[in-house]
Structure 1
Amino acid sequence: MDTTVADPLVGRVLDGRYRIESRVARGGMATVYVARDLRLDRVVAIKVMHANLAADDEFVARFIGEAKAAAALSHPNVVAVYDQRTDGEHVFLVMEYVPGRTLRDLLTERGRLGPRAALEIIQPVLAALSAAHRAGLVHRDVKPENVLITEDGQVKVADFGLARAESASKMTKTGLIIGTVGYLAPEQVLSGNADVRTDVYAAGVMLYELLTGELPHQGDTPLAVAYKHVNEAVPPPSGLVPGLPQQLDVLVTRATAREPAQRPQDAGQFLALVAEVHGGLPPDIDWRVEQASYGRTAVMEAPQPPPPVPGLPHGGRTAVLSPAETGPSLVPPGDHAPRRGVGATGRYVLIAIGAVAAVVLAWSVWYQTSGQYDHVPDRLIGMKVADARQALADAGLRARIAPEVYSDRVDKGEIAKADPAPGTRIAKGETVTLTPSKGRVPREVPDVRGRSLDDAKRILRDKGLQPGRESSTPSQTVAKGRVVRTNPAAGEKQSPDVPVQIVVSSGMSMPNVVGQKGDDAANRLRSMGLDVKIERRRDGRRPGDTVLSQNPEPGTGVSSGDEVTLVVNRRDCLFGEFFCDDDRGRDRGDRLPVPPVIGQSFDDAKRALKSSGFKVKIGSKLGDRVVGQNPLPGSSAQRGQEITIWG
């Protein structure tokens, strides 16, 4: 435990509620303290983000969202998240305080665990992960350091969602892979992507480490270890620990398959397999494996299990006995070596005969029944429906297709679930129910109206949706190049497998003002935010002071601030050209319509108002877009009058 007394936070009260009492540990992302909740008078753990991460707005936003998701988990094997707060520069998480030690501490102390004890620890870990997976949450950083063992032997998993928040941070260095490299799945190394099967891989690596005391892939650098995860399979743990049952090799190799589709498809499936293997282990398997690891052969007499050791679940029976604990004897602690003498040999002969008889009987039963049973094929999940049907037929089983369900684990049209589960023992001719995926779980379409096309695409991708076909439409209210709407509309739900269509503004449609009075046409265009330039020439065949031509042409897309040129016919003059051509001031004092600028950027709004003949005053500016103006849009104001805008 880190007992540094110089920590400036020790003794402080955060957010007026949490008094920091001592520092527990410091990691790469945060510092953990023991604190007291003054309002509820209880001890809590406070995880305070490091300053560099707390200064990153993107990280903080993602961290808060992930903290909320983690707080929604309610499971006895999950460290509870109580609160998330900010106090000045400190961004912190309030969690359940779990007195005890980490699984890493236990491994450091004991080296490795026996099969039964290892499975008794991995089961509550998988139960916690299964609850998270059902809630749509991926841990991303499963490792012994994040597994806590309480003083009474209860197992709890910590730090749900935090690795996801850190991996999304712009503070993350280019090329840095989040997560402890020894537990990274190949897909995390190659692309940084992670789903529930990534957690399964890490749990499989952790099971290997519990059984052997070592990580399966080791190297001189993190990059070398990551390379092995991608290019080398995790070896069976029995290669390091002689005597381990084959079922444990199968558990580890299935969970750590390099192809995600070949693993158990979530922690719940892995947990079911682990529970089945655990239930079939002999009670004394830990002692037997320990003896085999020292090159000894267990005696024929039924051995007793080793004594309880505090700090382990399920009664706390230890998985590993050191040579000092076992001594040179070939029998478990508490037993006495068999006496040598005349009766010993006869007793061994009887035991041997009984063992041979049991083997013969077991073989006979197997011979009579083995042809009647099979197993549900392992690779059904992720198969196309037709391929899954064929796989079942090849195994002598029937298929029933259930209604489609949404699934984030497999693509549309592939098998998302099989009942009974893959690997289950089943009688030949029985029916397996296959449930196809109809795509990933729908997500809410975000509101991207008024955003640039690039921003809109980025926001959609951040929400797990894919941008689809783009189209354009004229708009009098949305600037050219900005998003008018999406299909489906904002707030509706869409599966990520179906693209979201984006409609972009092509700008306002240039009206036809040819033949209109020059002043009326100019005022109309200025109210649209256009910069109107007037040229005059004489055409005796047309009425005076009317528009002869315009540029751009009618129907052209235009945006606020664009320049428009009107050619206006000179008026008939009674007293000479001087009194007719009075462009120098004939419009002075005219009232003009005020153009609408609400929703525009401040630069676009200023440009539109100035080109319409007004001055601009900016009031409060809390955002980057105009939310109000005075006078209101559609009213009239004196040319040159000051228009106030604010945001």
Structure 2
Amino acid sequence: MDATQVDPLVGQVLDGRYRVESRVARGGMATVYVGRDLKLDRIIALKVMHQHLAQDEEFVRRFIGEAKAAAALSHPNVVAVYDQRVDGAYVYLTMEYLPGRTLRDLLNERGRLPVEVAVNIMKPVLAALGAAHRAGVVHRDVKPENVLLTTDGQVKVADFGLARAETDNKQTKTGVIIGTVAYMAPEQVIAGRSDVRSDVYAAGVLLFELLTGRQPHEGDSPLTVAYKHVNDTVPLPSSLVPGIPPRLDAVVTAATSRDADSRPGDANHFYALLTDPSLAVPAPAPQQERPHNATAVLHNPAPGGRESHTGILPPVHYDTGPSGGDQVLLLDRIMHFVTGRFVLVTLGVIASMVIGWATWYQVSGQYDHVPKIIGVPKGEAINTLNDQGISFKLGKADYSDGQGVEKGDVAAVDPGVGTKVKPGEAITLVISLGRRPKEIPNVANSSVEEAKDRLGKAGFTKFDVTYAPSDSIPKDKVIKTDPKAGKDASPDETIKIVVSNGVAMPNVVGRLKDDANGWLGTFNLRLNIQFTEGEDRGKRANEVLSQTPPPGTPLKQGDTVTLVINKENCFLGQFNPPWCSNNANNPDDDDSVDDQGNKRIPRVVGRPVAEAQQRLQQRGFNVVIQHSDGGAGSGTVQRSDPAEGNRVPQGTTITLWD
């Protein structure tokens, strides 16, 4: 009977949204299904955790945290995580569904790949890992089973960060470490810790396997393979497949160095070495084989492989699948000697192993070392400490002048970096407030470059230049800073420099002469305003008919402005315009309301402000007074907005400038 027919989850709808349609694979941590998002009507993949893990509150907590980190990754070569949910007994992820096969399927079918194909597959794999490393996410389980090859030719990496949840869970419960032994870096075997360089090691092993069709370290038991990762150097790919370029040999050797510090710093560096022939591949540090009495956790198997070596691991059954693979239990602190399965070694070797393990436990297992987190952002430092199981507390934040530490970074740690601390002993983090505040100098009326120079000499290095109009500060000169001159600010803060973009010529056409003249006089630019006379019987006397320069033209000190003013055109007779003084319909007397409910604004320019305000209010207008020079004002109306003589709705606010 087909597995999907007996799976109780198939056919169910999780959270009222995700319908489980069929089972794809079962792994060591979860079962993968094809499903449908009923809300968005799209096919998705569902990764449902095994029940024994879903019942573990600590595992669920870690799993959710890692799922959030994985979901934050957005990269074309990363399998997208859409959502993380808990529905009753089911803890699951919804992910991008990608029809295709895994890289393991391709290797099983074809064996080793041509150099060009291998490199072209590694490029997107490293690009995906590089994006994760930039975001502070470590994959921890790089292997062919987690590389997907889609039917349209894409290469995508799956299960970012999810291995950590299971690893942490096992460490908490049993004091051991989980990993896929064929791709496990030496530091994972020895200390159970991983970082981006562990991903680099696994990717180096993956590249070796693509080029040669086999894994670099093979053995008849997981213990044997783990021992080789710790003690043996990965061979050159060309030693197995002649014709592989020497540069690829060098790249694989650098990536799989047993010394983590000798590897490329992260997947981005690995990608650059693989794709840029101009970059020199660093030579790994000399790596000597461990002596038999070294304090290593894994000891050299005796000749004969599986038939005669000391067993640390009892036989364990592991599931296989997209997230499973050959996962192996390592570094169990309870030493197992299984009779009938392994040949006993000499008493001397046993004694050496016990002494070595005891020394390691006392020196390494009982203490942690404060990591290098000075200058690291607070959040990243806390993640590092959590990863290493080191307790911490936050001390009083302080300034960090002269340390090259920015605001929000770790400025100090007590005890210091490298110090040994016992498990549970809390270290103190001091977070930087940035550099100590300094007084901002006055840079008004200077050029932008002059302002930056003066601010730089005062200790400020971050600037944001913006522009604003000014009728008193010349164009391209600094108006002010924000925070303003005389205030204190940290040199880590950005200082806004506000620069004048000058004054633009307004549109005064349609205004009366005195109104336009008063408006231009508020700019404090000592403009040369000239008037010429024109005639338009349809316009009011003294109304501006045209202007030079046109609206929007930048103005500067002493510019000439020419206004054409309509001459007096009122005569005796009934055909005069309504605003003529000898006509009953002049603005001062016309208090009528037209069909649209509009009233005419009476003459106010040249009148005392109080009188003009009263006249406007009597006609039902609201009034706002503005002082042209920013001071107390002249007491006489210079202009109005809207201009006098216009018809506007009752209740309109009229601004008077004095």
Shorter-chain-normalised TM-score: which range?
0.3 to 0.5
* TM-score normalised over the length of structure 1: 0.47
Q: Which has the larger radius of gyration?
A: 2
Instruction: Give the structure with the higher percent helix.
Output: 1
